[in-house]
Amino acid sequence: MTISTPDSLSASPVMRYLALILDEAMAQDGSFKATSKGNLPAKLVKQASELLPEFAVAQFPVNISISEFAGSNEDKFNALHYTRVLAEISGIIYRRSGRYHIKKSAQKQYQVLGIQAFFKPMLEAAISKYNWGYLDGFEYDVDLRTFWLFMLWRIQSHSSVDQLVKEVMTAFPDLLLAFPTDDYCSPERNLSMLIESRFIARFLQFWGFVTIDPRRYINAEHVARVVQVQPLLKQTFQFTINT
């Protein structure tokens, strides 16, 4: 499998939000003031919220109060908060004395190479350094990062979340041992919710690689859990199977 940086990153929420953060700092000699809580300022949050209609995920209208791609502040805007955390983990930005600064080396990279310079470092941070359980409250924890490549290979080939979960259980049966068996929720159901939340919604969808309808039921009918693979996924990941 090879990873490439796409020519255009305009369809990636994470990279568009990062560009807003960097542009705001560059316009002020490399840094800008954080809120008293240490978050991104309201002006930047508003700009990021206004980008939503440009993303494929906008096809699923969601009330702003529960949207992950808009919010009145950073705490209520998961995809933006995720981006800021990744940018810090990647060493692109840091917070000091109430301000967010872009590292001097990152400023030079941005001026010469643009936002593309940070695609692979941000992606690597998302896959190997970021805690996928950070934004949720699941009681039972399984580190899905170990299996990200297998899951990506399977989902890009058939787009079915239900089939993906079955394949993960077949390939890694010990995963189910992490979940207790109870009357309310089976280990299989727990694993399915974990994969859809952490891998599909808050990794692939945040990056603009796929979209998935957040509605599980429409008029009491179960909605099949199927992703729409976006061009960015194929432009980024190329799989070759050696036979």
- Structure confidence at residue 183 (pLDDT): 67
> What token pair was written down for 74?
């950073």
Per-residue pLDDT of the chain (243 residues; tens, 9 = 90+): 999 999 999 999 999 999 999 999 999 999 999 999 999 999 999 999 999 999 999 999 888 788 999 999 999 999 999 999 999 999 999 999 999 999 999 999 999 999 999 999 999 999 999 999 998 878 777 899 999 999 999 999 999 999 999 999 999 999 998 888 876 788 898 999 999 999 999 999 999 999 999 887 888 888 889 999 999 999 999 998 776
The CB density around residue 243, as the number of other CB atoms within 10 Å, is 3
- Structure confidence at residue 243 (pLDDT): 66
pTM for this predicted structure: 0.95
- Asked whether 209 and 139 are in contact (CB, 8 A), the reply is no
Distance CA 12, CA 14 (A): 6
Long-range pairs of 109-117 with CB within 8 A, sequence gap ≥ 24: 110/22, 110/26, 115/9, 115/15, 115/18, 115/19, 115/22, 116/5, 116/9
The CB density around residue 107, as the number of other CB atoms within 10 Å, is 17
